[in-house]
A and B are shown apart, each in its own frame.
Chain A
Amino acid sequence: MSESRRNFLKSAAALGAAIPAGAAAQSKPAPQADHEKQHAQHMRTATAAAQQRPYMFLSQTEAAFLDAAVSHLIPKDELGPGAKEAGVTSFIDQQLFGGYGTMARKYTQGPWPEGTPQQGYQSPLTPAAVYRAGIRDANNHCRKTYGKSFDALSRAQQDEVLKGLDGGKIELEQVRAQFFFNMLLANTVEGFFADPVYGGNRDKAGWKLVGFPGVAAVYTTFIEKHGVPYRAQPVSISDITQKIAQVDEHGHAIHVMLDDKAGV
């Protein structure tokens, strides 16, 4: 059991008596011990489901490229899981399959001159097409240079390729390397920090890294507690819709604090 899980158990038990009975009128949670069991069970199920979900847009080759690439952008280290472990490839897959990938609600009419940096996105390609072309070109570069696709390279070689794409030392055929890289980096950060409902930020790894509590509680009192760290077990949207987290009468999360202090 991880340190944070132990803390959660401890604090959940401590909070059993501290939460006013009326505070969770909407969700009618189970008693705390059951609640914690449910939560743990849910976490296992949800994590397993997310890991097993087949990709909707990405090919196996593309998924392997992304798994490798995002593990450099946000690596797993002593601070915790990285982008790969947090399911960022899943996140990107779902984004590319959906409105983001197809440029829904964006202006897509031509002509498409490249324009100046100040004029922003001018590609005739949708983000989905940018990934498709960018990964293919980057893998071709790797095969030409190292005789292997990106995912089969050593960590050091992968790092070299990513730095080349980022710094402009490697140029790609169908998309500008920097354009592709910037999109990949931005989507990786999104997938690491977005609500887990989108397939990334698995086990709230991104939120735990920085101490972001997710769906907010009522902070009317705590906003004036200057200098006091607010350490809460982060709450996601599905924690609330599945009634795993408790809410107040307006639907704000009632946070379980990690350091045994009552939330708000």
Chain B
Amino acid sequence: MAIKLKPVDVVTVGVGLTGTILAKELADLGLKVVGLERGGWRDTHPDFDMPHAHDELRYARRHELMQDLSRETLTFRNAIGDTALPMRQMGSFLPGEGVGGAAVHWNGVTWRFLPWDFETRSRTLARYGAGQLAEDCTSQDWGVTYDELEPHFDRFEYLYGICGKAGNLKGRVQLGGNPFEGPRSREYPNPPMKTSHVGAIYGKAARELGYHPFPAPSANMTRPYTNPYGVTLGACVYCGYCERFGCEMGAKASPQTTVLPVLMKNPNYELRTLANVIKVNLDSDRKRAIGVTYVDSRGREFEQPADLVLLTSYVFNNVRLMLLSGIGKPYDPAANAGVVGRNYAYQTNGNVTAFFEDKVFNQFMGAGALSMMIDDIDGDNFDHTGLGFIGGGWIGAASSGARPIDFHPVPSGTPRWGSEWKKAVSRYYNRAFGITTHGACQSYRGNYFDLDPTYRDAYGLPLLRMTFDFRQNEYRMSDYMTKKAAEIAKAAGASRMNVNPRTGKYSIVPYQSTHNTGGAVMGADPKTSAVNKYLQSWDVPNVFAIGASAFPQNGGYNPTGTVGALTFHALEAIKTKYLKQPGPLA
């Protein structure tokens, strides 16, 4: 029997990037906010202290900072009609667990999506006509435009101290930045990162081929930075242990280094860790949430009543909780009706590994977001007429740390083991680098989430089921992008290269990116979106689902910057509209 707790104003389900920002701002207004986090507490000190912070096996291979799959995972199949099976160990993507969520172990690449991304369908139809989109493509406009989001991108970048060079200030193209980006109201809060040897070589080659290289926008601090909340981040030392690791310097923006130090001092906020929310409770007519039910680390079940329920966990759990709780109509791909679970999308990554005989790179040095990139082949930045696909992505060369268990590239054709393999590893470990082609992914009728009929979590509840595969649009795009990347590698002087566009069925085994999107997508039409343009549930208006779960399809960028902008966008609507008159906002 659940223990009923005293009501509060706001509950956040998940205490990561989105949950901490929303909690901080709403607690500042005087609202009582409770943060429920299924994982434990963790902070820069002592959890990421040296020298244990630099343990590749523990963090990169055994995934210490990620989700405990023994309690909950998801099931996966490539297509309707296949039997989905559980993801038993980490592979393709790495969802986080614990305070800070995946924003603890991320790399820190922090983009704004293009103005085009937010109006994918209408702009594609306007420029190319309906023939450019596959018949089963369900990509759509977001119901919000870049111009509406610009102030929110700005707020997030200043909160997280993003380091970069503007390429477009109020419509004027700036030298050294990304000339394709949407107009910014002001410069980045911090200067871009230093340029590594790889970055210099890649940038020179790309420029010679007529592209517009620039340093990637980074959440690895280029100098100590005090954000608008008064929290100070340290400076990055280019140690090369970002992705999958916590930062011992407090130099990577995360909830721990930007928001939690002030949030934890606010008496209106209460954090409960090891508290796993299993359901959002609705009233009898199912139009209003009355709170959430969670189970704590002693097995006790609690009911936490709240006026406002904010779903602020990773993509998967936002969608799963809506399905488990009966918030919105589940998506049915056969009828193409219903909304919750609709438009799951991913990232279509390819790569080129470039090998050199006459250069050394010291690639074990670096930072998560230390990259040189081009954006010429992204979004609709180039003419797609006759190409048979829409979208694109950034193409870049990173120096994000070359930990040797995962990084020991050998030219294709080298045996997988034995003396020849060992020679090639020894020869090329410091003479090779990768170029990533970071492609977008459109949404399709057959790619979606629902609840699995067979497999269950530790509480006996159905797991989320993912049905996903790439389509012709993605294969063609990846092929096009990866050919461009190979041309850059050749211009850079590579003696040999491995060229790997995205081919074959999507596999959940090799790591690709933790850039899962959709399932509770936003839009202007309740028939094709689970949440409105403010990320508010159409069906249960005191529930908001915040995060990349709202992306109707995925752009060619890492999602975090846009997740941050959507968070502030939803927050503003809650503060200026919802709290004054609780109810549907659109």
Contacts and interface: CB of A to CB of B under 8 A. Distances in A.
Most buried by B among A73, A162, A241, A250: A250
A168 interface: no
A3 interface: no
B51 A237 contact: yes
A82 B196 CA distance: 32
B54 A237 contact: yes
A220 interface: yes
Nearest to B67: A105
Contacts of A40: none
Interface string B36-62: 000000000000011110111100011
Given A77-B422, A189-B405, A121 B88 contact: yes
A235 B73 CA distance: 37
A165 B478 CA distance: 34
Nearest to B458: A109
A82 B419 CA distance: 9
A109 B454 CA distance: 10
B13 to A, nearest CB: 22
A159 to B, nearest CB: 8
Interface residues of B, number: 72
Contact of B509 (A120, A166, A215, A235): A120
Contacts of A109: 86, 455-456
A210 B51 contact: no
A247 to B, nearest CB: 7
Nearest to B237: A218
A152 interface: no
Contacts of A213: 364
Most buried by A among B49, B50, B51, B56: B51
Nearest to B366: A223
A31 interface: no
Interface string B331-363: 000000000000000000000000000011010
A105 B68 contact: yes
Contact of B238 (A74, A119, A220): A220
Contacts of A185: 416-417
A111 B91 CA distance: 20
B88 A106 contact: yes
A74 B423 CA distance: 10
Interface in A77-103: 77, 79, 82, 99-100, 103
B82 interface: yes
B4 interface: no
Most buried by B among A100, A113, A194, A211: A194
A236 to B, nearest CB: 8
B50 A215 contact: yes
B196 A74 contact: no
A113 to B, nearest CB: 7
Given A106-B70, A193-B408, A222 B365 contact: yes
Contact of A75 (B62, B86, B422, B505): B422
Most buried by B among A109, A198, A237: A109
B186 interface: no
A206 B422 contact: no
Contact of A219 (B50, B76, B88, B240): B240
B430 A210 contact: yes
Given A79-B423, A193-B405, A237 B237 contact: no
Given A212-B364, A241-B51, A117 B359 contact: no
B366 to A, nearest CB: 7
A29 to B, nearest CB: 15
Contacts, number: 194
B83 interface: yes
Contact of B249 (A99, A108, A250): A250
B434 to A, nearest CB: 16
A119 to B, nearest CB: 5
Given A109-B456, A240-B51, A227 B430 contact: no
B224 interface: no
A106 B418 contact: no
B78 interface: yes
Contact of B69 (A106, A194, A216, A220): A106
Interface in A168-209: 185, 188-190, 193-195, 197-198, 206-207, 209
B86 A107 contact: yes
Contact of A250 (B50, B197, B423): B50
Contact of A206 (B88, B404, B507): B404
Interface string B413-429: 00011110111011001
A100 B93 CA distance: 19
Interface in B201-228: none
B241 interface: yes
Contact of B430 (A206, A211, A226, A253): A211
B77 interface: yes
B248 interface: yes
A32 interface: no
A195 B508 contact: no
A132 interface: no
B223 to A, nearest CB: 11
B62 A100 contact: yes
A196 to B, nearest CB: 11
A223 B88 contact: no
A8 to B, nearest CB: 19
A107 B505 contact: no
B200 interface: yes
17 contacts: A72-B418, A115-B85, A120-B509, A193-B403, A193-B408, A195-B57, A209-B425, A209-B429, A210-B408, A220-B238, A223-B362, A223-B366, A226-B200, A227-B197, A247-B51, A250-B50, A250-B249
Given A105-B69, A212-B404, 15 more contacts: A74-B417, A99-B62, A103-B89, A105-B63, A107-B73, A120-B509, A162-B417, A188-B417, A198-B57, A213-B364, A218-B238, A220-B237, A223-B194, A223-B238, A235-B51
Please name the 3 residue pairs, one residue from A and one from B, whose CB atoms are nearest each other, closest first. A251-B50, A210-B429, A216-B239
